Amino acid sequence: MRNAYWITLAVVALIVGVLIGYGIWGQSAARLPEAEKEVTSFQSQVTEWKKKYEALEGNLGKVTNEKLTLEKENAALKEALEKATKKRR
């Protein structure tokens, strides 16, 4: 019973201390201006990377489509060449 009293008193004192500290220094004390600048710059870099990545994905899709088209044309030309050489024989 006596231990519970002291534990409760310690917990209440901790909570009161945190609330008083927060009341004195507030939210601004929890933030560092330099860290906020770094976070902001990192967020802008991530945004740029996302835009570049999306552009690369778009280009990759175009290149893939062109490659498939060229492969189809190549296969058609090979067939036409084979047919032409068979007719000459």
pLDDT digits (tens, 9 = 90+) for 39-69: 899 999 999 999 999 998 888 888 888 888 9
User: What is the CA 30 to chain-centroid distance, rounded?
Assistant: 26
Domain shared by 38 and 70, yes or no: yes
Domain range for 21 is 1-30
One domain, residues 44 and 80 = yes
Query: Which range scores top for mean pLDDT: 19-23, 31-35, 46-50, 54-58?
Result: 46-50
Judgement on whether residues 85 and 59 belong to the same structural domain of the protein: yes
pTM equals 0.44
> Are 12 and 53 in the same domain?
no
Identify whether residues 26 and 68 lie together within a single domain. Answer: no
Q: Are both 12 and 46 inside the same structural domain?
A: no
Q: Structural domain tally of the chain?
A: 2
Structure tokens at 14: 């901790």
